[in-house]
Amino acid sequence: MASNAQTGFLGRQLANITHTLAKASQRRDAELQAKRTRLPTAAPAVKAFCSDPSVTSESDVSRSSDSGDSHAELERLDKRLDDFAVDGDKQRIVPPATMKAPLGGGDDSDEVDPKKMLADLDRTQPSSSMGGKDEADHSDDLKRMRAEFDGLIMIDHHHHYPRAMLVSLGIERQASSRDLYEVPDNDGDGPMRMLAELDRLAFENKQQAIIIDDDDPRAMLADLDSQVQASGRALPSCDLSFPSFLILAPNFDKIEDPINITGTLEKESIPYAVALRLESAGCKWEDVKGWITYLFSTGLHGHEAQKKKDEMIVRAEKDLKTTIKYVLEEEKRYRAIEDKERLPCRLIVTNLAADANEEELRVFLSKYNWDIRDVTLMNERDPIKRTKTAHVDMYTRKPAVRASYEVGAIFGLTLNIRLAVEHE
């Protein structure tokens, strides 16, 4: 589809060039016819643009050679333009300043610059006798040729490199900022000035269309900023919202007139554009890159992912607190039930020596060693004697009742043993 559109575009360019040159040839033939009707001594011989530097000074030979050379030049130029149209399928546009066509007869190695040919046509055209309307049409055609050739100078859009897209943005901005259709000037060096301008623009665009394989986003955005500043416009200020910039449309190669096609910057390039503006304001690139990655990235380190992580952590903490609260309540309830079950089988031992421990108490009740479930020394002490209290839990109540009748002493102090519940 893109090849058909480009072929049609080249066909229109060739048609315009052929039409312009045909009109120039007709104008030149009319001039020669007018000179034939004049006196032979009234007009000097017109210089012919041929490969042989020795030009005959006789007027009749000069006129005949001019007419023949004009048709020969048109035939060779048409052939050259056909070759140029065939080469257009290679997806690369050659700048007009580099295209040369062999003109004149004889030696094929002599090449003539199209700028010289059009300059010669401009010198040979009449100044005032050919009519203002034809001159305006001829100047308009040359202006249109310049605009269309300028539109042809573009980079290859089949190479989808990010830097090539940014370079294309600079070319499109410069092309859209120029007024291609000015008022046609009637002075003698109008075509010469247009061709010089065309050569300069072709050289600049050729330098801008160099595709660099380095896909460093920082270098890409630096090129974009330099291109925009060169065109007299600055990037809009970024407020961390969704900024928009002027770029080429995705279907650029399918549009017949790609001079003023605009669009919005791709979403993937927005963080780098914002980072470039922040860096140019004096921020460090490392800090800017970290914040931009955090705000715009869709990965694990982006703002959205971090927000989801925080929400998950809050939910997990809430669930954990709920679980802990439930476990503590269950443990408290379980302890209450267990204490209620142990209470009938518990012995309370008082007047226990301050240095006595759990081992001495177990030795004292050694005959009930297999019936003892747990021995607990309490922290409270007697305010006068400074003796301790202990709780001895039995598995059943029967051995607890028998142990309550035991009598003995530890470290010289007689133990007082009683049941926690006297009557079950």
Q: What is the pLDDT of residue 332?
A: 93
88 close to 10: Cβ distance less than 8 angstroms: yes
Q: At 409, give phi and psi (nearest 5°).
A: -140, 155
Cα 150 to Cα 198: distance, rounded to the nearest angstrom: 7
**First CA to last CA distance, the chain:** 102
Q: What is the pLDDT of residue 89?
A: 47
240 close to 292: Cβ distance less than 8 angstroms: no
292 close to 285: Cβ distance less than 8 angstroms: no
Long-range contacts of 108-115 (CB under 8 A, 24+ apart): 110/51, 112/49, 114/195, 115/192, 115/195, 115/196, 115/199
101 close to 75: Cβ distance less than 8 angstroms: no
Instruction: Check the CA dihedral 207-209-214-219 and report its sign.
Output: positive
Domains of the chain: 1-130 (no CATH), 155-296 (no CATH), 341-419 (3.30.70.330)
Cα 184 to Cα 151: distance, rounded to the nearest angstrom: 20
Instruction: Count the neighbouring beta carbons within 10 Å of the beta carbon of residue 206.
Output: 16
Compute CA 124 distance to the chain's CA centroid, rounded to the nearest angstrom: 54
Residue with tokens 């300059």: 119
Contacts of 360 (CB under 8 A, 6+ apart): 410, 411
Please name the amino acid found at residue 424.
E
In a structure prediction context, what are the per-residue pLDDT tens digits for the chain, which is 424 residues long? 556 666 777 778 788 888 888 888 888 888 888 887 765 554 444 444 444 444 444 444 444 445 455 566 667 666 666 665 555 444 444 444 444 444 344 444 344 455 566 666 556 554 444 444 454 455 555 556 655 555 544 444 444 444 555 455 555 445 444 444 444 444 445 566 776 777 777 666 555 554 444 455 566 656 656 665 665 544 444 443 433 333 334 444 444 444 444 556 676 677 777 777 777 777 777 777 777 776 776 667 667 777 888 899 999 999 999 999 999 999 999 999 988 888 899 999 999 988 889 999 999 999 998 999 999 999 888 888 889 999 999 999 999 999 999 898 998 889 999 998 887 6
Produce one character per residue of 88-111: b if its CB has 16 or more CB atoms within 10 Å, e if not: beeeebebbbeeebbbbbeeeeee
Please name the amino acid found at residue 33.
Q
The strand pairing partners of 14, in sequence order, are none
Q: For the chain, give the secondary structure using H, E and C.
A: CHHHHHHHHHHHHHHHHHHHHHHHHHHHHHHHHHHHHCCCCCCCCCCCCCCCCCCCCCHHHHHHHHHHHHHHHHHHHHHHHHHHHHHHHHCCCCCHHHCCECCCCCCCCCCECHHHHHHHHHHHCCCCCCCHHHHHHHHHHHHHHHHHHHHHCCCCCCCCCHHHHHHHHHHHHHHHCCCCCCCCCCCCCHHHHHHHHHHHHHHHHHHHCCCCCCCCHHHHHHHHHHHHHHCCCCCCCCCCCCCCCCECCCCHHHCCCCCCCCECCCHHHHHHHHHHHHHHCCCCHHHHHHHHHHHHCCCCCCHHHHHHHHHHHHHHHHHHHHHHHHHHHHHHHHHHHHHHHHHHHEEEEEEECCCCCHHHHHHHCHHHCCCEEEEEEEEEECCCCCCEEEEEEECCHHHHHHHCCCCCEECCEECEEEECCCCC
